[in-house]
Structure 1
Amino acid sequence: MPFLEKNFPGCRFERKTPVGKKPGPKPNKAASYGKTGKSLIEQIKKELPIALKNEPNRCNLILVFDDLDCRDPVIQREKIWQELLKIPGCAEIEKFVGFAAPELEAWIIADWDNSLAKSSAFRGRHQRMRWWLSTQKHIPFDNPESFSEYDQQRDCCREKLSDALIESSVQDEADRNQPRFSKGLHTPLLLREINPHEVQRKCPLFRTMYNYLNDFCSASSPMTNNQ
């Protein structure tokens, strides 16, 4: 949400899913991550009708956003789209389904210089992290959305980009007493620092969503968008 609010000030966003945090301790409220895949669709089917009924004529755009986890974006978008069309009141509202591929951390990788390289939490080790990610995990920094491949049995990526970042933060002996990279703590903080113009050069799916929201919010007065 902070990323959307910072980059698209012409829109006002209200998050409708997830309705609750996942179990376990959270470093801060920014660490609440949504459900993905089938579980996200199920929660949308449950929560969106309630929101539209309780707040009629308030929503101008239904924005659904998910980690793609190496799934086919065309198939995944169609699954979500078809479920949205079944929800009463959705047909008349503009809709957009966007993805982070394979995870949100791809955006951080794409703009490393403005995110991890500038973060005080990784000062003195971000270069070692980048070298390890590039040489050991073969992460393409110029095309991070292409990392890993789909595992049909698990319905997700064979390798998680976020796990690679975590491992990179402590793989060097000099860094093993330092805090690990945290998806819950560091990802939302670093997303606030990325330059979207740099990210869209390297991430086609990000570019599609960014350009859509930029056009939509620029052409509109402040409004409410359900996410």
Structure 2
Amino acid sequence: MVIWLFAGGGETEYDGLVKLLQKEFPDYHFERKLPERAHKPIGKPKRDAHENENKVNATTGPDLLKAISESLSFLLTRKSLEDLLLKGSLCDAILVIDDLDCRQWDGLVCNEIKSPGFLKIQNHYIEQVQRSLDRAKNPLDDWMKNRLYEVQFQPEIIVGFASPEIESWIIADWGKGEEREKCQHRDFPEHQWFLMKRWLQDVAQVDFDNPELYGGFNPETKRCQMKLSEQIMEAATQAQIPQEAQKPSRYNKRRHSSELLEKISGRRVERICPIFKAMYRSLQLLGKGSN
């Protein structure tokens, strides 16, 4: 089963998300369509090209939906479709993942799975992606439309959200003492990892049993008052107590969040994060429905 992945966000989603999904669902084949690496600038000095060659085009919200529409328009041209059909990589499902970032929908809270706001924003994403899919197929000639009908190209659309951002999944699988295996990065010694959690709980007031509600809505920016990813970086700084045996590390969002994302257990995260659980279960049901 082929699943096209369109994810909002930047480096973390680019480097770690596909590996996490592939690990959790080894019978599926995930193909990341978004985010993408930024194109190297043409005609610019080499130093500028070097600075941009590893950057990721980060998108979210309406910009992500627009980027999905543009990507589908390219993927569903006749030339592209012929190539996809030949390789057997036409998708069976489309998976969209975006950060909620404490957004509200028509004044309604979106970070609670049963709230009207969440249902409305999820339905909006599904409707927009379906429209983009229909628009992309509309210009095709009759032969190609018949070919798509023959192969039953009607991909299911699954929309999932990270609330407030993807680091909430890392928080959910941070580890609780000796209770179970820790999702801990090798760069961080035991004492620093412990102090980071304590600072996040006591100072940043992160609820490790319900991280999806973190952030607080800022009416001016229409986003979170406090960024969870920034709080984790600050926690690493605050926890830098020199030790002779192991030197504390600084937290790098691009590298550490990506590598931690690969290690987390979806089954453990779903116990704590209802919004994540909805997406996780949808992917599980997708596999059962194909049998």
- With the shorter chain as reference, the TM-score category is 0.7 to 0.9
- Unpaired runs of 5+ in structure 1? 222-227
Query: Following superposition of structure 1 onto structure 2, how do residues 128-167 of structure 1 map, counting pairs within 5 Å?
Result: 128-167=195-234
Q: 2:277 aligns with which of 207, 211, 214?
A: 207
Which residue of 16, 21, 24 maps to 1:7?
24
TM-score (norm 1): 0.84
Tell me what 1:119 maps to.
185
- Partners of 2:186 and 2:259 in 1: CA distance: 12
SS of structure 2 residue aligned to 1:192: helix
Number of aligned residues? 218
> 1:65 corresponds to which residue?
97
Q: Distance in 1 between matches of 2:186 and 2:233?
A: 16
CA contact (8 A) 2:215 2:226 kept: yes
Q: Which has the larger radius of gyration?
A: 2
Within-5 A mapping of 1:69-80: 69-71=101-103, 72=110, 73-80=118-125
* Distance of aligned partners of 1:187 and 1:115 in 2 relative to their CA distance in 1, 3 Å threshold: farther
Aligned to 1:100: 162
Letter matched to residue 40 of structure 1:
L
Which digits, 9 at most, give the CA deviation of each residue in 1:140-192, with x for residues without a partner?
000110112222321321110000000000114526x8432122101111112
Answer yes or no: is the 8 Å Cα contact 2:161–2:275 preserved in 1.
yes
SS of equivalent to 2:257: helix
In 1, Cα distance between the equivalents of 2:249 and 2:192?
11
| Letter of the structure 2 residue corresponding to residue 137 of structure 1 | A
CA 1:11/1:4 → structure 2, altered by over 3 Å: closer, same or farther?
same
Output the amino acid matched with 2:278.
T
Question: Which residue matches 2:6?
Answer: none
Tell me which of the two structures has the higher relative contact order, counting C-alpha pairs closer than 8 angstroms and 6 or more residues apart.
1
**Structure 2 residue ranges without an equivalent (≥5):** 1-17, 41-49, 104-109, 111-117, 139-152, 176-180
| SS in structure 2 at match of 1:125 | helix
Q: Taking every aligned residue pair, what percent have the same amino acid on both sides? A: 32
The answer for the alignment partner of 1:52 in structure 2 is 76
Does residue 194 (structure 1) correspond to residue 264 (structure 2)? The answer is yes
Instruction: Name the counterpart of 2:37.
Output: 20
Greater shift in the superposed pair: 137-146 or 83-92 = 83-92
Q: Cα–Cα, structure 1 residues 115 and 37, in superposed 2: closer, same or farther, change >3 Å?
A: farther
> Cα RMSD over matched residues?
2.8
Structure 1 CA distance, aligned partners of 2:125 and 2:232?
29
Alpha-carbon contact 1:18-1:43 (below 8 Å) kept: no
Structure 1 residue identity aligned to 2:72? L
Instruction: Deviation per CA, 1:67-93: give whole Å up to 9, x if none.
Output: 110122333323322221222249932
User: What's the TM-score once normalised by structure 2's chain length?
Assistant: 0.67
Secondary structure of the residue aligned to 2:154 is coil
The farther-off stretch of 86-95 and 106-115 is: 86-95
Preserved contact between residue 98 and residue 209 of structure 1 (Cα < 8 Å)? yes
The whole-number CA distance in structure 1 between the counterparts of 2:259 and 2:126 is 30
Tell me the distance in 1 between the aligned counterparts of 2:65 and 2:194: 39
